[in-house]
Structure 1
Amino acid sequence: MMVSRKIRRAFVHECGENGTRCCENAFSYLECMPPHEFDAIITDPPYQIGIAGQKWDSKPLPIDWLAYHFHRVLKPNGNVFVFCSDFQFVHWYTELSKYFTNLRKYAWCRSNPMGWIKGRFIESFELGLHACGPDAYFDKSRPYRNHKVTGTCAGRERIKPDADEEKGKGKGQRSLHPTQKPLELIEELVTALTDMGHLILDPFSGTGTLAEAATKLGRRYAVVEFQYRYHRAASRRLKNHDLKST
Structure 2
Amino acid sequence: MNFQNKISYYYEYADFKLILGDSLEMMKKFPSETFDMIFADPPYFLSSGGITCNSGRMVKVDKGEWDKSLSINEKHDFNKRWLSECKRLLKKGGTIWISGTYHNIYSIGMALEELEFKILNNIIWEKSNPSPNLSCRYFTHSTETILWAKRNKNEKHKFNYKLMKSLNNGKQMKDVWTFSTASKSEKKYGHHPTQKPLKLLERIIMAATDEGDLILDPFNGSGTTGIAASRLKRKYLGIDIEQSYLDITVNRLKDSFQMKFEI
Question: TM over 0.5, yes or no?
Answer: yes
Conserved 8 A contact 1:42-1:201:
yes
Give 2:98's match in structure 1, choosing from 82, 88, 96: 82
Shift of 1:145: 2.1
Shift of 1:18: 2.5
Conserved 8 A contact 2:160-2:209:
yes
Give, as a single letter, the amino acid of the residue that structure 2 aligns with 1:76.
Answer: K
Give secondary structure in 1 for the equivalent of 2:237: strand
**1:150 aligned residue:** 179
Establish whether residue 73 from structure 1 lines up as the match of residue 89 from structure 2.
yes
Q: Provide the TM-score with structure 1 as the length reference.
A: 0.83
Counterparts of 1:153 and 1:102 in 2: how far apart (Å)?
27
Counterparts of 1:212 and 1:159 in 2: how far apart (Å)?
14
Give, as a single letter, the amino acid of the residue that structure 2 aligns with 1:178.
Answer: P
Shift of 1:119: 4.2
Q: Deviations over 1:163-216 (max 9, x none)?
A: xxxxxxxxxxxxx32111100011110111111111000010111100100011
Give, as a single letter, the amino acid of the residue that structure 1 aligns with 2:112.
Answer: L
Give secondary structure in 2 for the equivalent of 1:86: coil
Q: Deviations over 1:58-98 (max 9, x none)?
A: 24440111121110011121000111221422221222122
Give secondary structure in 1 for the equivalent of 2:161: coil
**1:105 aligned residue:** 122
Give, as a single letter, the amino acid of the residue that structure 2 aligns with 1:144.
Answer: M
Conserved 8 A contact 2:36-2:215:
yes
Establish whether residue 140 from structure 1 lines up as the match of residue 161 from structure 2.
yes
Counterparts of 2:175 and 2:253 in 1: how far apart (Å)?
28
Conserved 8 A contact 1:159-1:207:
no
Give secondary structure in 2 for the equivalent of 1:46: coil
Counterparts of 2:95 and 2:35 in 1: how far apart (Å)?
9
Conserved 8 A contact 2:182-2:195:
yes
**2:3 aligned residue:** none
Give 2:209's match in structure 1, choosing from 176, 194, 210: 194
Give 2:221's match in structure 1, choosing from 193, 202, 206: 206
Counterparts of 1:81 and 1:108 in 2: how far apart (Å)?
13
Q: Provide the TM-score with structure 2 as the length reference.
A: 0.78
1:93-132, aligned counterparts within 5 Å?
93-97=109-113, 98-117=115-134, 118-132=136-150
1:1-246, aligned counterparts within 5 Å?
12-50=9-47, 52-55=61-64, 56-60=66-70, 61=75, 62-97=78-113, 98-117=115-134, 118-132=136-150, 133=152, 134-141=155-162, 142=165, 143-161=172-190, 176-243=191-258
Shift of 1:129: 0.8
| Bigger Cα displacement from structure 2, 48-57 vs 66-75 | 48-57
Would you identify which runs of 4 or more consecutive aligned residues in structure 1 move more than 6 Å?
A: none
RMSD, aligned α-carbons = 1.8
Unpaired stretches in structure 2, ≥5 consecutive residues: 1-7, 48-59, 166-171
Counterparts of 1:160 and 1:52 in 2: how far apart (Å)?
20
Shift of 1:12: 4.9
Counterparts of 1:182 and 1:87 in 2: how far apart (Å)?
20
Give, as a single letter, the amino acid of the residue that structure 2 aligns with 1:125.
Answer: T
Conserved 8 A contact 1:78-1:137:
yes
Give secondary structure in 1 for the equivalent of 2:61: helix
| Bigger Cα displacement from structure 2, 43-52 vs 177-186 | 43-52
Identity of aligned residues (%): 27
